[in-house]
Structure 1
Amino acid sequence: MSITPMWRVDRDGSMFTDKKSAEEHDRMLELAANLTTLLEDHFTMDEQLAEDIGLLLSRNKDILSKAFKGKPDLVLEIGKPSDEKDPDSEAA
């Protein structure tokens, strides 16, 4: 019998086989939570919508960072099938 170490992210209960992926996922969720709070503080919107927007922005932070640095067309690529990643693809 082999033993596989697993790391569980407390925020959403997802499981990962390596610590780096678990920490990266946790940081993404923390950023999403903070973005959700920002949206709720500045706009009148449904809590679920604010959370969905926060997750969308957080999952695409690298693309958004490049867009803010002078490549605004990259924003239009978010959500297209070729760029879409399953954030739980490493979850067991």
Structure 2
Amino acid sequence: MAVVAIWQCDRDGSMFEDKKEADAYDKMLELAEQFTQLLESQIKGVDEKSAEAFGLLLAKNKELVAQACKGRPDVLEQILSPTSVTNIEQAKAS
């Protein structure tokens, strides 16, 4: 029997066979957490699930957000796919 190394993300329990992928995922979740805290502190009355969903959306699309901040706001249209909207609604529902 072969031994397979598995890395688990302590933030949400996700499992990975590749350490680099696990580290990248953990960093994305850390960024999402920071975005969520920023939103909750700056937008009064925002509910936790919506702030978390938006924080995850921003973190998952950080490259596009960075490009938009550097003068290319049109790249954010790539996030407006039906899949992204569905993911936000699913995050809010859970």
TM-score under structure 1 length normalisation: 0.83
CA RMSD of aligned residues (A): 1.7
CA distance in structure 2 between the partners assigned to 1:64 and 1:22 by the alignment: 22
Count of residue correspondences: 83
Q: Which residue of 2 aligns with 1:54?
A: 55
Q: Which residue of 1 aligns with 2:73?
A: 72
- Determine if the alignment matches structure 1 residue 45 to structure 2 residue 46: yes
Question: % of aligned pairs identical?
Answer: 48
Go from structure 1 to structure 2 and tell me whether the alpha carbon gap of 1:30 and 1:72 turns closer, same or farther (over 3 Å shift): same
CA distance in structure 2 between the partners assigned to 1:36 and 1:45 by the alignment: 10
The structure with the greater share of residues assigned to helix is 2
Q: Is the deviation greater in 72-81 or in 5-14?
A: 72-81
Q: Could you list the runs of 5+ residues in structure 2 that have no partner in the other structure?
A: 85-94
SS in 1 for 2:20: helix
Choose between structure 1 and 2 for higher RCO, CA contacts under 8 A separated by at least 6 residues: 1
Q: Could you list the runs of 5+ residues in structure 1 that have no partner in the other structure?
A: 84-92
- Determine if the alignment matches structure 1 residue 25 to structure 2 residue 30: no
